[in-house]
Amino acid sequence: MPITASMLYRDSFNFFRNQVVGILLIALLTAFISVLLNHAFRPDVEQLKLLSVTENDLASTAGMGIQEIIQSMTPEQQMLLLKLSATATVSALVGNVLLVGGVLTLIGMVSAGHTTSALRAMGNSVPQLPGLLLMLFICTLLIQLGLTLFIVPGVILAISFSLAPVIYFADRPGIFASLRQSCKLAFANARVIVPAMMLWLAAKLLVLFMISQSSVLTPQVASVVLTALSNLVSALLLIYLSRLYMLLRN
């Protein structure tokens, strides 16, 4: 029986509906941790004033590229911008590692017939988190590099590595073996992976747009809500890819 996208969508939503409480708790916990880390290590208000932009600054940088704007900054502003970028990247990476580890462990335990919870799933995922952290760091670095140089290579790399975390948690073959196997399977099953990833990206952009239009939430609450909703979308994609890999193994 051929594997179709409609079958995978149906199975994924059924699993999500049955485990919605655990998945929602994992999404909220990881969102809170990510936002807390970002807030704890970001520069204080006095330092952020160095990056304040006036009308004269905007006029002087009109028509300039990003690299030219950065080069026109003072060394203090460049270091502050680097710290902001590093803090956001690290906090997002840690949040993604905890999310992926918790959701994939939850999927594995439920598929094996075990009764579990969000906290138990996240706790059981701890032994594999260091390897997952290294894997996601490598994937993020290569994908960002591909997107920066030429957009298409970055998209191709994102699709190629999409199954790597699932393989790493399901079979535990090692980081680079998971990446190699993911590349082979992703290209062989691009017809069911590419549409899901496009829907995942569109859903994350929609969530970002909805939160940006809300004037009711404070910035801190908006960050948690945005990250939690984004995590829920990513959890759905992980369920979809896990179901696909389960069928491919069988």
pLDDT at 55: 39
Q: Which candidate, 204, 189, 175, 208, places its Cα nearest to that of 246?
A: 189
pLDDT at 121: 92
d(CA 169, CA 102): 11
Residue with tokens 């979308």: 233
d(CA 182, CA 166): 9
Alpha-carbon separation of residue 9 from 13, 20, 146, 159, 242 (angstroms): 6, 16, 29, 18, 12
Angle (CA) 9-195-236 rounded to 5° is: 45
Q: What is the model's pTM? A: 0.87
pLDDT at 66: 58
State the virtual CA torsion across 60, 45, 37, 205 in degrees, nearest 10.
-40
What is the residue-level pLDDT of the chain in tens, covering all 250 positions? 678 888 999 999 999 999 999 999 999 999 999 989 888 777 665 655 555 543 344 344 444 555 566 666 667 766 777 777 788 888 999 999 999 999 999 999 998 888 888 899 999 999 999 999 999 999 999 988 887 777 788 889 999 999 999 999 998 888 999 999 999 999 999 999 999 999 998 998 888 887 777 666 777 788 888 899 999 999 999 999 999 999 998 7
Cβ atoms 109, 124 nearer than 8 A = yes
Cβ atoms 245, 166 nearer than 8 A = yes
